[in-house]
Amino acid sequence: MTQTSHPRRTRILPPSPIPAAEKNHRQQQRDALAARCRPIFERLCPQLIEAHYNWHIAIDPDTEQYLLDPTLLGITQKIREVYGNTNELKLTIFRLNDTGNCGRLWV
Planar angle of CA 81, 86, 92, nearest 5 degrees: 75
- pLDDT at 55 (0 to 100): 93
- pLDDT at 24 (0 to 100): 93
pLDDT at 107 over 50: no
Q: What is the mean pLDDT of residues 1-25?
A: 76
- Alpha-carbon distance 64 to 22, whole Å? 28
Residue 51: half-sphere exposure toward Cβ, Cα within 13 Å:
6
Residue 2: which pLDDT band, with cuts at 50, 70 and 90? low
- Entry pTM: 0.74
Residue 37: which pLDDT band, with cuts at 50, 70 and 90? very high
pLDDT at 105 over 50: no
- Alpha-carbon distance 90 to 21, whole Å? 21
pLDDT at 42 over 70: yes
